[in-house]
Amino acid sequence: MAALPFDSSEIEQLVLRFNAVMAKEGTDISDLGGNASDDPIAAILQETAGDLSRNEIRQEIESMNDEQQDGLVALFWIGRGDAEPEAWEQTKALARQQHAGSVSRYFLGQPEVGEFLTEGLEKMLEYGVD
């Protein structure tokens, strides 16, 4: 039986942070037009240099051990449909081979990372992981 190298609640919290980061816009719009009272809301959705949320995600992922990082990538791939839960161990091994670099950078470059991690977790739980 496959076992996840992290608690499912950890993944759920990470997904929330990913979704918050991915909701931000990368472009600064100096003149938003419309109602000036809406400007602070738009500014919140704009990404800034050194964005704390992005840095928190980087730190959290980079603080994971290799097995956890491999499992996170494998979970993402399963959620994306690149692998099946039955191939968990092989998918983790492939993740280790292909992502020896920054796992956090890989994930932060994936616009649907939260959705795929959630889907992967659901598939693994349906499969019956420990």
Kindly state the tokens that stand for 64. Answer: 């994971």
In a domain, 32, yes or no: no
In a domain, 89, yes or no: yes
In a domain, 102, yes or no: yes
Domains identified in the chain, total number: 1
Alpha carbons 101 and 25: distance in angstroms, whole number: 26
Note whether 12 and 4 are within 8 A (CB). Answer: no
pLDDT tens digits, residue range 65-118? 999 999 999 999 999 999 999 999 999 999 999 976 789 999 999 989 999 999
In a domain, 44, yes or no: no
Domain, as residue range, for 117: 11-23+51-127
Count CA within 13 A, CB hemisphere, residue 102.
10
Name beta bridge partners: 46.
Answer: 25
Note whether 61 and 72 are within 8 A (CB). Answer: yes
pLDDT tens digits, residue range 27-78? 444 555 555 555 554 444 455 555 558 888 999 999 999 999 999 999 999 9
Residue for token pair 């092989």: 90
In a domain, 5, yes or no: no
Displacement of CA 22 from its chain's centroid (Å): 9
Alpha carbons 79 and 120: distance in angstroms, whole number: 4
In a domain, 92, yes or no: yes
